[in-house]
């Protein structure tokens, strides 16, 4: 990247952030402490992208074996992020264990299918590219499934208590709530897939095009990404709601915690 390109990038990012902050300020909405969450998020993201760019350059060009280490770091970060949001269900330790199992299982299934069937070349470049996208999807799916499960337990508490009063085990009492949480968690990825090419052009497709791939090659990669996200999301949502869907004590409303 030349100095001119870097300057234009910084100016463009600053302008977009300024618009976002002004709009939020005018609307009286404060996102994060002192309303600076958009700014800090972009700054953090920029630093992380710069760091991962340097790391991946070495991994992809010189040390392909380190691809597994890169994916391990991504998985660890995904588990740490999602588990803290799901701690009210059965505690942080249980949430962390459930999210780790679910995210790892979702990613392994997708990568295993994609590379064992020869859909994509088995190389560090493709493993990191597909693995990174899928792990990001598993984190989102785990968070959505867990949050919908928690919201359902709070909203349908009397229904769950009724099942328990009739002698049903905790898992059966929560089963309908868990199933609804799985369905709701899949809505974003299903909508994204349905509207691809009509409403949105996904990042993987655009990135492949900008990288020199033909539209057919870009579409091929994007299609396996979309199918992989649905697969991983399904695996993760079912596992999270299964592992956290039989609480011995129902979560308390926020005001009682």
Average pLDDT over residues 80-90: 85
- pTM for the model: 0.77
* pLDDT tens-place string over residues 43-73: 888 887 777 666 666 555 555 667 788 888 8
Residue 104 — very low, low, confident or very high, per pLDDT cuts 50/70/90? very high
- Domain extents in the chain: 1-62, 63-256
- At 11, the pLDDT band (50, 70, 90 cuts) reads confident
Q: What angle, rounded to 10 degrees, do the helices at 92-116 and 215-244 form? A: 150
- For the segment 177-200, the average pLDDT, to the nearest whole number, is 85
Among 80, 76, 56, smallest CA distance to 67 is for 56
Region 162-191: what's the mean pLDDT?
89
Rounded-to-integer distance, Cα 251 and Cα 146, Å: 12
- Mean pLDDT to the nearest integer, 138-159: 91
Q: What's the pLDDT at 257? A: 53
pLDDT of 92 higher than 60 = yes
Q: Does residue 247 register a pLDDT over 60?
A: yes
pLDDT digits (tens, 9 = 90+) for 163-174: 888 888 888 988
Q: Please provide residue 122's backbone torsions phi and psi, each rounded to the nearest 5 degrees.
A: -80, 95
Percent of residues, the chain, with pLDDT higher than 90: 25
- Residues 6 or more apart whose Cβ sits within 8 Å of residue 150: 86, 88, 89, 251
């Amino acid at each position: 990247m030349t100095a001119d390109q870097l300057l234009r990038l910084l100016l463009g990012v600053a302008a977009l952030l300024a618009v976002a902050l002004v709009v939020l300020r005018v609307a009286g909405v404060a996102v994060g402490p002192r309303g600076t969450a958009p700014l800090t998020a972009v700054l953090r993201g920029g630093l992380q992208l710069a760091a991962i760019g340097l790391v991946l350059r070495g991994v992809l060009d010189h040390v392909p074996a380190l691809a597994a280490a890169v994916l391990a770091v991504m998985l660890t970060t995904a588990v740490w992020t999602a588990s803290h949001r799901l701690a009210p269900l059965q505690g942080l330790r249980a949430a962390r264990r459930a999210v780790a199992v679910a995210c790892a299982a979702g990613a392994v299934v997708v990568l295993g299918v994609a590379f064992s069937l020869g859909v994509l070349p088995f190389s560090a470049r493709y493993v990191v590219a597909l693995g990174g996208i899928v792990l990001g999807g598993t984190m989102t799916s785990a968070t959505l499934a867990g949050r919908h499960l928690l919201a359902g337990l709070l909203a349908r508490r009397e229904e769950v208590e009724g099942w328990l009063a009739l002698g049903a085990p905790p898992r059966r009492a929560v089963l309908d709530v868990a199933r609804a949480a799985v369905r709701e968690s899949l809505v974003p990825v299903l909508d994204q897939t349905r509207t691809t090419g009509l409403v949105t052009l996904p990042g993987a497709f655009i990135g492949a095009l900008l990288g020199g791939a033909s539209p057919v090659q870009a579409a091929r990669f994007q299609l396996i990404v979309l199918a992989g996200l649905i697969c991983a999301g399904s695996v993760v949502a079912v596992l999270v709601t299964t592992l956290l869907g039989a609480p011995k004590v129902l979560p308390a409303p926020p005001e009682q915690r």
